[in-house]
Amino acid sequence: MNQASQTRRDIGAGNQLDADAVRRAYRRWAGVYDLVFGGISALGRQRAVAEVNRLPGARVLEVGVGTGLALPHYGAEKRITGIDLSAEMLARATARVAAERLDNVEALLVLDAEDTGFAAGQFDIAVAMFVASVVPNPILLLAEMRRVVRPGGHILLVNHFAAENGPRWWVERALAPASRALGWHPDFAVEALFPGNERAAVTFVPIPPLGLFTLARLQN
């Protein structure tokens, strides 16, 4: 049993209900996701893919690939495996790959980001865009990304992290209850993903405009 599986077992079976809720939410959103969220997320997505293209290594895992908005922008030398919990979102990603003849996309799979079943060290890079705050257990997400990336490889996450002070702190907390209904957590704290001393090993790059999203980068 791998580390993510054991941690899931220790936490308990209730997380499966959360995963089912995620599936239901994205089943509803699949048809309009690109229109509603594509523009908002574009700069963060472009920044993450540019970083992937810059890094050494060809084997890339995109966690939470969704409708495949990022797929056309990877370099041709990158060999992409995309996973998502939503079959409906992946169906749209598959159509995009076919329509745009993206030969470097090797697989699109319905898998749980917290327990993928891939071999340890199978990938050079793992990237998750706008995923950390919508999975049941962000710590399990990061642990699984660490497991499947080879030693010396790279892990990238783009997400919104809550402001730690100032006016945005108050706005995010006021918006939190309504935002959760849309699967977005404006009060998602850095510590929810990088607790304790782990934060020190991560490079955080604010993404303009306003730094609403952040690229978190670490070496495995």
**SS3 of residue 79 by DSSP:** strand
Domain housing 83 = 3-219
- What length is written for the chain? 220
Name the residue with higher pLDDT: 13 or 151.
Answer: 151
Tokens of 163: 């402001």
- CATH number of the domain that 19 lies in? 3.40.50.150
Name the residue with higher pLDDT: 18 or 58.
Answer: 58
Give tens-digit pLDDT for 162-178: 766 555 554 555 555 54
Q: Residue 208 and residue 210: Cα distance in Å, rounded? A: 5
Name residue 206's amino acid. P
Name the residue with higher pLDDT: 68 or 212.
Answer: 68
Name the residue with higher pLDDT: 15 or 165.
Answer: 165
pTM of structure = 0.79
Sign (positive/negative) of CA torsion 94, 63, 47, 181? positive
What does the buried/exposed string (b/e) look like for 116-141 if buried means 16 or more CB atoms within 10 Å of the residue's CB?
Answer: bebeeebbbbbbbbbbbbbbbbbbbb
- 149: closest CA among 188, 119, 187? 119
Give tens-digit pLDDT for 32-82: 555 556 556 678 889 999 999 999 999 999 999 988 999 999 999 999 999
User: Beta-strand (E) ranges in 85-180?
Assistant: 105-110, 123-129, 149-159
**SS3 of residue 145 by DSSP:** helix
Phi, psi of 171 (to 5 degrees): -65, -45
Evaluate the omega torsion of the peptide bond into residue 151 and state whether it is cis, within 30 degrees of 0.
Answer: no
Please say if the pLDDT value at position 187 is more than 90: no
Number of domain units in the chain? 1
For residue 63, the surrounding DSSP H or E stretch is strand 59-63
Least confident of 4-18, 63-77, 125-139, 155-169: 4-18
Task: Report, as an integer, the average pLDDT of 82-91.
Answer: 91
